[in-house]
Chain A
Amino acid sequence: MKKLLSIIVALFAVCGLLAFGANQLQSTSGSTGKKVLNLYTWGDYIDPSLLTKFQKQTGYHVNVETFDSNEAMFTKIKQGGTSYDLTVPSDYMIEKMKKANLLLPLDKKRLTGMANYDSRFMNLNFDKHNRYSVPYFWGTLGIIYNDKFVKPGSINHWNDLWQPQYRDKIMLIDSARDVMGFSLASMNKSMNTTNPATLLAARNKLNQLSPNVKAIVADEIKMYMIQNEAAIAVDWSGEASEMLDENKHLHYVVPSEGSNLWFDNLVIPKTAKHFDAIYAFLNFMSEPKNAAKNAEYIGYATPNKKAKALLPKAIRNDRQFYPDDQTIRHLQIYKDLAPAKVGLYNDRYLEFKLHH
């Protein structure tokens, strides 16, 4: 018993040391001071060197906390408990958060860099007049293929995926809206449809794709495609650009008949507290030099047109990731659908997964 007690005491002592160590490290990096900004963002979604630069310029220390899905982020902001100052939801989620009264309007007078943004990416339906959001990154949904297994140029449309020659060769991103979405797009239907019959048809069409589907996975697609594990994948442009960097046999296609256009925008959630820091950060990130640096680090497309001009020519003119106006016109942004309608998408998608 004595021994047991001494073990317990020793363990508590270790705990004390750990707490001290962690505290020490946090105070040296300054995250406990008063001049802070709490940024709630996707994992690895900002160049860390920009955070250092921001602190040097303005004195605000940025605490980064991360989430891995829009919905999980929504739940945490809705429940409160933490003073998140800025977060980066996607388009439909901005609409949803707006409806749930979770966002604070931007004070336009305090924003200095709004003119830097491309007008094509402003004033969109999910946030008219950009009352709540500043564009951060944008992209598309498309097809990635490996020219070792697929003849270059032979995949241009969603319907090409259904060819029997691609049996057990395709990987899909595990997302109900996107998978149902491309099936809808392949039938020339709206990717925001709420018609149950149309959704059923989209599911039936997906069921026919089953033999070609090798797996339905998430972030791992990137790793698989880089390793030549699969010939074809359906994924977002941001992921694709990272894959292409690693494996030169890969190509990205946005089907011209239509696909999804997505945005991740910076918004101020209701939980915000440090407003001076927030506006300093928004203005800092809209400076062309910083936005360009961030875009190069993350590899996604920047909505900041002055920043885009600063990017290397090879990136700037890459039609795969900065599609022309013609293609952009055919792209559709997801709307925030009523919960029951989202449920329809998910039920059909679950049925497809079970069929597969």
Chain B
Amino acid sequence: MKIHNFKWRNLYLWFVFIVLYAPIIFLIVYSFSKGDTMNNFHGFTWAHYQDLFADSRLIAIFLDTLLIALLSSILATIVGTLGALGISQTTRAITKNTLLSLNNILMVSPDVIIGASFLIFFTALKIPLGFGSVLLSHIAFSIPIVVLMVLPKVQEMSRSLLDAAADLGANSWQLLSQVTIPYIMPGILSGFFMALTYSLDDFAVTFFVTGNGFSTLSVEIYSRARQGINLEINALSGLMFLMALILVIGYYFINQYSSRHRHANTRGHRK
């Protein structure tokens, strides 16, 4: 009975993964097609990858995109986590709900509105458009998702755990670094990855607030889409995906290497 059950579960997981990865495999397969579009597969070629490596502008844009994504998600994760900790400590329900509503405003507002109002905002403050304005905007729209990811973890953390640690003489920094952060770490990581996702995916906001020659991959892809998606972009996506896969698996193994260690630690704390 149990084994039978387990197989069904795996089947379901496989199904979900196939659906999730189908379009990506589709894109990668076409990056090897001799044609110019994703209509018919015309035979194998490396040509699009060669084009890609010769296109230093696209590669520079790609590096800039990664830079913005990483920097903005680190900073957004820090601000968002502190925000979530702060929100959880508010005692009055009204304050809490107000903060949460304010937090979610950027999530509900369509990108175009966010982009247009940020543009007006930046030009009013005379902040030059370009790397800085894009970075600020990405941090801004990534914070709410970090808060949403971290908050449930913070709320799960029992008061008594903190009080116990405080009773044992931990100061607030120790409390934060030794108890709180390790406990809410999964939430922080989810928040970081979501922030990364938001940043990599954003088009409309970046479009409005960029300038002076600075561009990200999404903006480039959208403007190139006018002529149909170039398979060079597929090649780039294929490479990006491969890199991400290597990173993720690499990260996982490093993590696993030290996980036994950490598990022992957290268990120790709980006791």
Q: Mark A17-39, 1 if CB is under 8 A from B, else 0.
A: 01101100110110100000010
B160 at the interface (CB under 8 A from A): no
- Min CB distance B160 to A, Å, is 22
B181 A15 Cβ-Cβ under 8 A: no
Other-chain residue from A4, A19, A65, A223 in contact with B228 (beta carbon distance below 8 A): A223
A75 at the interface (CB under 8 A from B): yes
Residues in A200-232 with C-beta less than 8 Å from chain B: 219, 222-223, 226-227
Q: Which of B56, B59, B67 has the most chain A CB atoms closer than 10 A to its own CB?
A: B67
Q: Is the interface of A mostly helix, strand, loop or mixed?
A: helix
Query: Using Cβ atoms and an 8 Å threshold, which residues of chain A touch B185?
Result: 4
Binds B, one of A6-14, A119-127, A287-295, A334-342: A6-14
B119 A66 Cβ-Cβ under 8 A: no
Other-chain residue from B37, B130, B219 in contact with A66 (beta carbon distance below 8 A): B219
Query: Using Cβ atoms and an 8 Å threshold, which residues of chain A touch B182?
Result: 1
Q: Which of B177, B207, B223, B230 has the most chain A CB atoms closer than 10 A to its own CB?
A: B223
- Min CB distance B108 to A, Å, is 21
A223 B74 Cβ-Cβ under 8 A: no
Binds A, one of B19-27, B94-102, B121-129, B140-148: B121-129
A15 B70 Cβ-Cβ under 8 A: yes
B67 A25 Cβ-Cβ under 8 A: no
B129 A81 Cβ-Cβ under 8 A: yes
Q: With contacts A3-B258, A43-B222, A43-B227 known, is A226 near B37, CB below 8 A?
A: yes
Q: Mark B202-215, 1 if CB is under 8 A from A, else 0.
A: 00000110011101
Other-chain residue from B38, B66, B120, B224 in contact with A43 (beta carbon distance below 8 A): B224
B226 A68 Cβ-Cβ under 8 A: yes
Q: With contacts A15-B70, A222-B228 known, is A82 near B212, CB below 8 A?
A: yes
Q: With contacts A12-B74, A76-B119 known, is A21 near B63, CB below 8 A?
A: yes
Other-chain residue from B70, B129, B215, B223 in contact with A14 (beta carbon distance below 8 A): B70
- Min CB distance A255 to B, Å, is 25
B227 A25 Cβ-Cβ under 8 A: no
How long is the Cα–Cα vector from A3 to B259 in the complex, in angstroms? 12
Of chain A, the residue at the smallest CB distance from B70 is A15
How long is the Cα–Cα vector from A15 to B64 in the complex, in angstroms? 9
Query: Using Cβ atoms and an 8 Å threshold, which residues of chain B touch A14?
Result: 70
A22 B227 Cβ-Cβ under 8 A: no
Q: With contacts A15-B70, A22-B67, A44-B224 known, is A72 near B177, CB below 8 A?
A: no
A242 at the interface (CB under 8 A from B): yes
Query: Using Cβ atoms and an 8 Å threshold, which residues of chain B touch A105?
Result: none
Residues in A47-71 with C-beta less than 8 Å from chain B: 63, 65-68
A79 B215 Cβ-Cβ under 8 A: no
A276 at the interface (CB under 8 A from B): no
Query: Using Cβ atoms and an 8 Å threshold, which residues of chain B touch A25?
Result: 56-57, 59-60, 63
How long is the Cα–Cα vector from A3 to B251 in the complex, in angstroms? 13
Query: Using Cβ atoms and an 8 Å threshold, which residues of chain B touch A1?
Result: 177-178, 181-182
Of chain B, the residue at the smallest CB distance from A1 is B177
B39 at the interface (CB under 8 A from A): yes
How long is the Cα–Cα vector from A120 to B129 in the complex, in angstroms? 40
Q: With contacts A43-B223, A227-B39 known, is A75 near B70, CB below 8 A?
A: no
Q: With contacts A1-B181, A15-B70 known, is A75 near B37, CB below 8 A?
A: no
- Min CB distance B120 to A, Å, is 7
B37 A246 Cβ-Cβ under 8 A: yes
How long is the Cα–Cα vector from A28 to B223 in the complex, in angstroms? 24
How long is the Cα–Cα vector from A246 to B181 in the complex, in angstroms? 57
- Min CB distance A30 to B, Å, is 10
**Between A and B, how many residue pairs show CB distances below 8 Å?**
112
B220 at the interface (CB under 8 A from A): yes
A152 at the interface (CB under 8 A from B): no
- Min CB distance B103 to A, Å, is 23
Q: Mark B47-86, 1 if CB is under 8 A from A, else 0.
A: 0000000001101100110110011001000000000000
- Min CB distance B150 to A, Å, is 14
B225 A43 Cβ-Cβ under 8 A: yes
Q: Mark B28-41, 1 if CB is under 8 A from A, else 0.
A: 00000000011100
Query: Using Cβ atoms and an 8 Å threshold, which residues of chain B touch A196?
Result: none
A83 at the interface (CB under 8 A from B): yes
B170 at the interface (CB under 8 A from A): no
B106 at the interface (CB under 8 A from A): no
How long is the Cα–Cα vector from A15 to B220 in the complex, in angstroms? 21
Residues in B150-196 with C-beta less than 8 Å from chain A: 177-178, 181-182, 185
B224 A226 Cβ-Cβ under 8 A: no
B116 at the interface (CB under 8 A from A): yes
Other-chain residue from A15, A26, A75 in contact with B116 (beta carbon distance below 8 A): A75
A166 at the interface (CB under 8 A from B): no
A11 B123 Cβ-Cβ under 8 A: no
Q: Which of A15, A42, A80 has the most chain B CB atoms closer than 10 A to its own CB?
A: A15
Q: With contacts A15-B71, A18-B70 known, is A28 near B56, CB below 8 A?
A: yes
Query: Using Cβ atoms and an 8 Å threshold, which residues of chain B touch A65?
Result: 211, 213, 215
How long is the Cα–Cα vector from A67 to B59 in the complex, in angstroms? 20
Q: With contacts A1-B177, A25-B59 known, is A8 near B74, CB below 8 A?
A: yes
Query: Using Cβ atoms and an 8 Å threshold, which residues of chain B touch A38?
Result: 213
- Min CB distance B110 to A, Å, is 14
Task: Beyond A67-B207, A76-B208, list 12 extra A-B contacts (CB 8 Å).
Answer: A18-B70, A22-B60, A25-B59, A43-B223, A66-B215, A68-B226, A75-B119, A75-B208, A76-B211, A80-B123, A81-B211, A223-B39
